[in-house]
Structure 1
């Protein structure tokens, strides 16, 4: 192994450092896949990985675009005498290279984890000072993806320049290998990575670690609205709402090839209600946060599968325009309100083909009717843009109205989906993924457009009934003919 790695280093040593990771041709739409950490932590091993990969394929997730299988922390046994990382032989008796071959043979890609520090967060060997050796050995194993954390960083943070330099070292090292390796920077939002990471990485974490909870006050995860708390601290035990309300301030930083990462999905991990899980998944799609599943794939149930395989929502996530939705307004609701305590928000943003996304979020404790005018929904277009909508009608498509039934989901889980009764099967799902990038999406495809639930003129209002801790996710499409004024 040492000779192979040395040969690789020699072969790439004459190359220039190459373009920034943003130009590596990867993550043109937000990367999709599965990560070990939330369900397995340090209990990952070869069997866990291969079992998950098998399910990702057999349940149809691969055909929908979930292509990366990421080994998170705790995979290594430290460094050998030559300073190269080696895998834990008990967990990976056949080595990572052999595992990568098996993952690739199933039509998937493989990812690995390290930290831009002396140790990883679980106190395994980190990559600080070993960037070229580590990148080279990963490339020699056939690695396609790196999640790069921020633990034990020797104090090399506190200014954007310090963080940039430390993470840029690994970005350059990955480029030197000549192998396309997606670079997922994970510094928890310290030093504003959205300002520098787009030039060196394919995605960057926007805040602290996400817990499997909808909305909970926790001093370990400071909120931007709290006085007397240093909100620059990344924190942990962060709730879905906490992470969301920090990420709404820089949606424009995300562009094709480089994405804001609101941490991995918690769908299917038991802590969220069905409405909360739908909202969590929908908001990540709207804000273009990479959808990485973390549930135990071998225990996937019908509600989980039907959320993660909602192709109409995934079509928003994978929309080729690559434009994140913006928060248009946010209102608080107090205890005296008959509709319960909480907050409500409206998100909106353009989609390819001239479509528009409108997402109503009801974080309150009771169901409610929510509404917005087209001026609200097209607010980012400015006065001229909204004025241009006058005289036209827009069809409204509900992206959750055609959610897969539990019966169909269970048929897929049990390997019995045939598609003979018109429900989606493996072939249909693969076909759906192929047209994520079609412009415009076919109106007749309920799998990609949801169900048409109405229309609205420029002077009208879009109204939706939104359940507590839920969302209404709507796709607006302008009708072909101008209405009579």
Structure 2
């Protein structure tokens, strides 16, 4: 596969050189079967990571379940959660120099509910997958257009300062770093030019409260409070101190947040930080090791 796509990449480079024009975008597709996230960035700009989006009928072979044992007939929630699960382990590979391609967007197609389509668009955008619309826009519903035209979500995907996407910091239903195509990672975070991103994905078949400590994200500083922007409601929702709860997230639904540093935590909180081992005095000493 590397040899095959090297020939294509060389042909593109030769054409650009002979014509004096910029090279075309090269999007590789061999469905992730040879781990292109490890080598494809030297040849092109994006690479498919999984099988095509489809309505998946799964067949278990002992404990091994793979998209290669499936029949595809149109997008549904099962397809989305499987692709999110598989990409959760390689989300680090997307940056300015190349992108995990999670396949074309199916917003407005198939059997997806409004909340499932929002989850689909949010995960693809915040994981920095290319956003390729497959919907017939001439008959698209207002709900479909509302999703596809979310400028705040698109701005994260197109961030000119931070190229990397979000990654999981907690799986939720399953032990961290465990493979489960029905219940992918639920708690995600990442950087942006304007603050720290959080994606909360409810993989359950019923509404659920979703709680996390801010410092579970590596991009959050202990001892600080953060303003909260809801990227779907397009509202500023006050300030979060130490933790956050999203109440009654719809089944298969999503919450997308942008949090910005809003200064020191309010005075008088005890203990002085949510996690003492991460709480440092100005001189670099851990707070819990100081003899007051």
TM-score, normalised to structure 2's length?
0.79
**Residue of structure 2 equivalent to 1:300:** 140
1:210 to 29, 35, 53: 53
**Residue of structure 1 equivalent to 2:165:** 324
Structure 1 stretches of 4+ with a deviation exceeding 6 A read none
Q: CA deviation at 1:183?
A: 0.6
**Residue of structure 2 equivalent to 1:168:** 6
Residues 345 and 282 of structure 1, relative CA distance in 2, 3 Å threshold: same
Larger relative contact order, structure 1 or 2 (CA cutoff 8 Å, min sep 6):
1
1:390 is aligned to 2:172: no
**Residue of structure 1 equivalent to 2:274:** none
Q: Contact 2:84 / 2:184 at 8 angstroms: preserved in 1?
A: no
Taking the aligned partners of 1:324 and 1:170, their CA distance within structure 2 comes to 27
**Residue of structure 2 equivalent to 1:474:** 257
1:464 is aligned to 2:246: yes
Query: Secondary structure at the residue paired with 1:257?
Result: coil
Q: Contact 2:81 / 2:184 at 8 angstroms: preserved in 1?
A: no
Query: Secondary structure at the residue paired with 1:177?
Result: helix
2:193 to 338, 349, 352: 352
Taking the aligned partners of 1:192 and 1:357, their CA distance within structure 2 comes to 27
Residues 343 and 368 of structure 1, relative CA distance in 2, 3 Å threshold: farther
Taking the aligned partners of 1:192 and 1:233, their CA distance within structure 2 comes to 15
Task: Please identify the structure whose Cα radius of gyration is greater.
Answer: 1
Taking the aligned partners of 2:129 and 2:69, their CA distance within structure 1 comes to 18
Q: CA deviation at 1:480?
A: 4.8
Cα RMSD (Å)? 2.4
Q: CA deviation at 1:218?
A: 1.9
**Residue of structure 2 equivalent to 1:309:** 149
How many residues were matched structurally?
249
Taking the aligned partners of 1:348 and 1:342, their CA distance within structure 2 comes to 18
Give a deviation string over 1:373-426, Cα, whole Å, max 9, x none: 012133xx5xxxx5xx2332100111010xxxxxxxxxxxxxxxxxxxxxxxxx
Q: Contact 1:330 / 1:343 at 8 angstroms: preserved in 2?
A: yes
Q: Contact 1:364 / 1:469 at 8 angstroms: preserved in 2?
A: yes
Q: Contact 1:209 / 1:236 at 8 angstroms: preserved in 2?
A: no
TM-score, normalised to structure 1's length?
0.48
Residues 332 and 470 of structure 1, relative CA distance in 2, 3 Å threshold: same
1:251 is aligned to 2:33: no
Q: Contact 1:391 / 1:484 at 8 angstroms: preserved in 2?
A: no
Taking the aligned partners of 2:152 and 2:67, their CA distance within structure 1 comes to 35
Q: Contact 2:107 / 2:135 at 8 angstroms: preserved in 1?
A: yes
Listed as ranges, the gaps of 5+ residues in structure 2 are 73-77, 175-181, 269-292
Q: CA deviation at 1:254?
A: 1.3
Taking the aligned partners of 2:148 and 2:34, their CA distance within structure 1 comes to 32
Query: Secondary structure at the residue paired with 1:397?
Result: strand
Residues 236 and 195 of structure 1, relative CA distance in 2, 3 Å threshold: farther
Give a deviation string over 1:2-46, Cα, whole Å, max 9, x none: xxxxxxxxxxxxxxxxxxxxxxxxxxxxxxxxxxxxxxxxxxxxx
